[in-house]
């Protein structure tokens, strides 16, 4: 089955005690920020893009950081081809983002990114930082992205095993890569994952306001019909579990 369209559902809300939502969303060519509730359908016969950027709180101006990142990303995607390699494109995005540091007000601001390119059944996921992409299938949430954290770096180097994560100090969950307005940034990495979407499968993009509060099993159980009440319930579940960060989710599924 080749999908002719993709249906999307979106929810974004500022975190507890925050004055502004520091997440920003790219929905098929348009950038959104604030309290976002959107649903729609896009043509799958041409490449379309969805993404979430999360302003890093320890950087400067996190609200502006996320929005600027998606505006630069959109500028590059608008002149790209449907099959262009996304890793070098995102390297160019980082170059432009780093150049923002020419304005002292923006120096040091940073953001994470997760996104997806959809073209018929072909799904290309890209991420920098710890915003995530999941494949929702058969009642499970399978991680497609990979967090750029010290924990994963230690696992890659054989200094820690995944089972130790729950008992590890919070410092190992810190970011080791993000988009940053610093021209001297010399450690920039992009994760790319591809998947051929099958019947019954959906893609979930989220900022860490979801997965820091809820584990993957709970996430899978919460997302079943992609209705707005369901997205609101997921946000409430994250709040009840102690989540206080900005919360953003995008659900995508194919339609024939």
pLDDT beyond 80 at 156: no
Q: Please state, in angstroms and as integers, the Cα–Cα distance from residue 100 to each residue in 158, 188, 231, following that order.
A: 37, 16, 35
- In the chain, the domains with their CATH numbers are 5-145+179-255 (3.60.40.10)
Q: What is the pLDDT of residue 18?
A: 87
How far is the C-alpha of 60 from the C-alpha of 140, rounded, in Å? 37
194 against 184, higher pLDDT: 194
* 107 pLDDT more than 60: yes
Q: Is the pTM of this model over 0.85?
A: yes
**Averaged pLDDT, 180-196:** 93
Count of CB atoms within 10 A of residue 122's CB? 16
pLDDT of residue 256: 76
Asked if 245 contacts 209 with a C-beta cutoff of 8 angstroms, the reply is yes
pLDDT at position 255 over 90: no
pLDDT of 235 higher than 90: yes
Residue 151: predicted pLDDT: 75
Average pLDDT over residues 216-231: 93
Query: Taking residues 8-30, what's their average pLDDT?
Result: 95
More confident residue, 168 or 104: 104
Which of 26-30, 151-155, 217-221 shows the lowest mean pLDDT across its residues?
A: 151-155
């Amino acid at each position: 089955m080749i999908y002719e369209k993709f249906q999307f559902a979106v929810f974004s809300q500022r975190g507890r005690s925050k004055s502004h939502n520091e997440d920003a969303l790219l929905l098929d060519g348009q950038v959104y920020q604030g309290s976002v509730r959107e649903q729609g359908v896009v043509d799958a016969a041409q490449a379309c893009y969805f993404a979430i950027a999360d302003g890093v709180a320890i950087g400067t101006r996190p609200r502006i950081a996320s929005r600027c990142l998606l505006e630069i990303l959109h500028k590059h995607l608008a002149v790209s081809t449907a099959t262009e390699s996304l890793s070098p494109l995102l390297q160019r995005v980082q170059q432009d983002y780093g150049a923002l540091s020419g304005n002292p007000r923006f120096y040091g601001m940073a953001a994470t990114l997760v996104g997806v390119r959809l073209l018929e059944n072909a799904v290309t996921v890209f991420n920098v930082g710890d915003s995530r992409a999941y494949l929702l299938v058969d009642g499970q949430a399978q991680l497609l992205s990979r967090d750029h954290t010290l924990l994963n770096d230690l696992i890659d180097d054989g200094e820690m095993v995944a089972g130790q994560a729950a008992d590890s100090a919070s410092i190992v969950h810190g970011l080791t890569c993000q988009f940053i307005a610093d021209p001297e940034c010399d450690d920039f990495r992009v994760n790319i994952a591809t998947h051929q979407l099958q019947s019954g499968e959906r893609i979930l993009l989220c900022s860490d306001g979801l997965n820091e509060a809820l584990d993957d099993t709970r996430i899978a159980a919460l997302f079943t019909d992609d209705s707005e009440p369901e997205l609101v319930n997921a946000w409430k579940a994250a709040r009840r579990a102690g989540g206080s960060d900005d919360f953003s989710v995008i659900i995508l599924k194919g339609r024939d």
